Structure 1
Amino acid sequence: MDIIQLLETLKPAAHVISVEVQSNKNFWDSIIAVWPSLLTGGVAFAGIWASHRQFKITGARQAQQVEEAAQRQTAQFKIDVDRQIKELRLTTRLATDIELKKENYREVRTACIKFLSESNTINCLKYQLDVAKTLAIVQPENEVRTDAFLSSTASHQMSQTNLAGCQFSLLSYLNEKDDATFIKSISSVFEETVINDSTPEVFGAAIVKCNIELRSYILKKQNEIVALSDSIDN
């Protein structure tokens, strides 16, 4: 039997019992084994912690931004309200000034027309008084002429008193400095009506001059009202 046959007969590999003896791992081997898991968990925890911290920081920043925005809006709202209040006060004051100017020039126009009308009445009574006086002198025994003279005298004096009142009322609306020319024309009418023995031409010229000054005064006040109205619109 050759060597090959002998080996085939024995087949030692089939009868070999292999015993695997596992040796116990030490501590560092265990650490090394679980290290990848620990590392992954640590990274995950660090990520969660960083995200939480970033969320808190972002939340705080957003809260601060919201608060600052609210403060800015509150401040701007207060500024807007204050501006609107000032504009309202200005508009109200301008509107009041407009109404006062309207009322003023209307009152001046009414008072001036009454003054000039009373002046014309006195001027007519003056000539009636002159006629009645002449007739009373020519016919002193005639009681009718005498009574007519006395009646004309009383009417004339009453009209003069009324004219003085009209002049005082008219001047109370005017400004001594701004309306000096108008005031002068009013005084001229009063003098030519009551004080001076003026001719119809002189008296008529004084009346015309006063009328012109009245129109100028009204035009000036109307222009002032237009300017104030433009201020409100702007």
Structure 2
Amino acid sequence: MEDYASRYAALLSLVEGTGYHATSDHVALPRDCRFIKKNNTPTGPDLPGARPLTVLDRLLMNRPERRRSLELDAAWKMRDISKPDDRRRWLSDHLVTQNNECYYCGVDMRQATEGKLIGCRPTIDHVIPRSRAGEDTKENTVAACEACNGAKGSLLPEEFKSTEFLQRRKMTVLTPPDRLSADPSSRFYDAAKLERGIHVFLDEKEYFDVEEYCESEGWIRLPAGKARTRTGRPVTITKRGKVVVRYEDI
């Protein structure tokens, strides 16, 4: 196992001149902006934005290879040459250029302010991480959703794009569910997804009054006039064909 003294001698050289110190009984974590003792107890001076350790943090600390990259990211974060005002300006410019979409998963980050999706808050991300000699410049940054930024960590873009996380993320935020119902009593009902708005096409014709659809089975259910069931839901008829669905905000 790598000697703690040598590890933190290297870490100390990175944060030299920042006013912070690293010793052999502390661990630096990015996004925490603080030094953490090996028993997970916060110690030392805090930087703005510090937060308590999460369960995920503790799990990552138990993986030596991941822990090392986290420590390096923390060191680079402390010595970033850009100021908060610069970052905010960069982020605003990137959001305009990227049409408010996450650089990695493509989600519309405006949904964060509307409360429709979790993890969509826009953040600034270094394309080439600081821990891998990436520069702290506008040209090396992009606008990324909070979820992708946190999951990417010290990975390069080509490494991150092949991760299972990003594939699942794209399926979640870009693709509506295979089956969805507007009936609150149905197990296929999902208020959050319905609130986003979904375009439903059957054989390339769009329908606007769909009560339920199933893309894989190829059918949609539409109201049959004004008739109602005893529970007040519309009586429906089923139409079959090729069903295609997509979110309205994509």
Q: TM-score range by the shorter chain?
A: under 0.3
Q: Which structure shows the bigger proportion of residues in helix conformation?
A: 1
Q: Which structure shows the bigger proportion of residues in strand conformation?
A: 2
Q: What is the TM-score when the length of structure 2 is the normalising length?
A: 0.21
* Higher normalized contact order (CA 8 Å, seq sep 6+, divided by chain length): 1
